[in-house]
């Protein structure tokens, strides 16, 4: 059985790397796949052996991709915010629609994805048209699920969850064996957003200043080690430059106790480095997701709808809610200190429920679909 996956892969992003890890593992475990192929220019280091190549604009490469899509038993868009723009003619999913229209055997679906926010009404109409050609659709948040229900699709969508919630099962991770450092470790993961969408840069600056102020206050009030994560190592749109800008601003006296964990293609390594932290403060969604499922308290800045959706679905406690950096910093700091030193229970209330929902990406999709 051949599973072919398409998504935002091979871009040195630990969050997207986790989609590859879980998709390969899940398709083999639950669907009986003996060949996993990803359209990507490279793959992270994952537990399940998989193939990959990146379709290019060259006729031979793109033609090979279309042929592999047509020969696949299942073609899947797996993980992330990949449904927000109109399909282009060069998008491999356009040819998935063609495969369906030609009634060529094999299923087409999407798992662990969110819908929107759409760039415009044309993008939404294009997305709906594509979704109606699928055999299955598993959404990673309640908002996207409700949206899919409103589209009157010819099948019932699945209310699933983010694929990364299944990482502990892949790694046989014991949640009780971590947080053993004598000095509390506070993980920090930052990223810009408005810079890349031509948005309000002032909002981006305010958000980053919020994190800078939290670090500066923690630095003076407690004995803490800071662990900065570069979750996105892409040379153009990655987090390295911003991370060091923030470090330089909070380390003017050269007394900051810190280390930097650079991007690594080894998903398990990054996951376990997050798990060693006593608390994580992040703008990157998947830094918080890795924290959540390793039983590590976290504060996620809600710079995007997908962040708010995640916090709602996992049942994040009020003491860890910081909105988009709009919460009173003194209140946030007091809550963080209680978590670090008084061991306040600060884990989300619905985490276990979302793990079960994440499994539905596999158990309620390929083997339970409308067509063959």
CB 365 within 8 A of CB 372: no
CB neighbour list of residue 337: distance below 8 Å, 6 or more residues apart:
218, 221, 222
Q: For position 177, what pLDDT does the model report?
A: 56
Closest among 306, 361, 320 to 84, alpha carbons compared: 306
Burial of 185 (0-12, 13-18, 19+ CB in 10 A): buried
* Strand order across the 225-229 sheet: 258-261, 225-229, 185-189, 279-282, 298-300
Q: Per-residue pLDDT for the chain (372 aa), expressed as one digit of tens each?
A: 999 999 999 999 999 999 999 999 999 999 999 999 999 999 999 999 999 999 986 778 899 999 999 999 999 999 998 899 999 988 999 999 999 999 999 999 999 999 999 989 999 999 999 999 999 999 999 999 999 999 999 999 999 999 999 999 999 987 665 666 789 999 999 999 999 999 999 999 999 999 999 999 999 987 999 999 999 999 999 999 999 999 999 999 999 999 999 999 999 999 999 999 999 999 999 999 999 999 999 999 999 999 999 999 999 999 999 999 999 999 999 999 999 998 889 999 999 999 999 999 999 999 986 543
CB 36 within 8 A of CB 3: yes
Q: How far apart (Å, rounded) are the C-alpha atoms in residues 105 and 349?
A: 43
Q: Which domains does the chain have, with CATH numbers?
A: 2-166+355-363 (3.40.50), 185-350 (3.40.50.2000)
């Amino acid at each position: 059985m051949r599973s072919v996956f398409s998504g935002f892969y091979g871009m040195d992003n630990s969050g997207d790397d986790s989609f590859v890890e879980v998709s390969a593992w899940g398709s083999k475990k639950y669907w009986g796949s003996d060949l996993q192929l990803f359209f990507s220019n490279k793959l992270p280091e994952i537990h399940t052996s998989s193939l990959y190549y990146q379709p290019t604009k060259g006729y031979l490469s793109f033609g090979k991709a279309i042929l592999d899509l047509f020969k696949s038993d299942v073609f899947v868009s797996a993980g992330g915010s990949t449904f927000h723009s109109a399909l282009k003619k060069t998008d491999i999913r356009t040819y998935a629609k063609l495969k369906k229209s030609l009634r060529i055997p094999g299923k087409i679906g999407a798992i662990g994805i969110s819908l929107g926010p759409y760039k415009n009404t044309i993008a939404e109409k294009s997305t709906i048209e594509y979704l109606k050609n699928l055999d299955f659709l598993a959404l990673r948040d309640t908002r996207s699920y409700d949206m899919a229900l409103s589209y009157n699709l010819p099948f019932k969508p699945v209310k699933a969850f983010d694929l990364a919630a299944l990482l502990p099962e892949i790694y046989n991770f014991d949640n009780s064996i971590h947080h053993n450092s004598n000095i509390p470790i506070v993980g920090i993961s930052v990223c810009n957003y408005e810079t890349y969408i031509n948005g309000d840069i002032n909002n981006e600056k305010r958000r980053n200043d919020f994190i800078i102020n939290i670090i500066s206050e923690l630095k003076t009030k407690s004995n803490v080690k800071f662990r900065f994560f570069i979750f996105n190592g892409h040379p153009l749109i990655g987090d390295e430059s911003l991370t060091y800008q923030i470090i330089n601003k909070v380390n003017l006296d050269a007394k900051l106790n810190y280390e930097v964990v650079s991007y690594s293609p080894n998903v398990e390594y990054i996951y376990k480095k997050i798990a060693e932290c006593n608390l994580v403060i992040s703008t990157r969604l998947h830094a918080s997701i890795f924290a959540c499922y390793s039983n590590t308290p976290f504060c996620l800045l809600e710079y995007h709808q997908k962040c708010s959706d995640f916090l709602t679905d996992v049942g994040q406690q009020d003491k860890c809610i910081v909105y988009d950096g709009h919460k009173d910093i003194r209140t946030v700091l007091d809550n963080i200190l209680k978590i670090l030193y008084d061991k306040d229970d600060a884990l989300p209330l619905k985490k276990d429920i979302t793990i079960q929902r994440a499994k539905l990406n596999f158990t309620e999709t390929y083997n339970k679909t409308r067509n063959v």
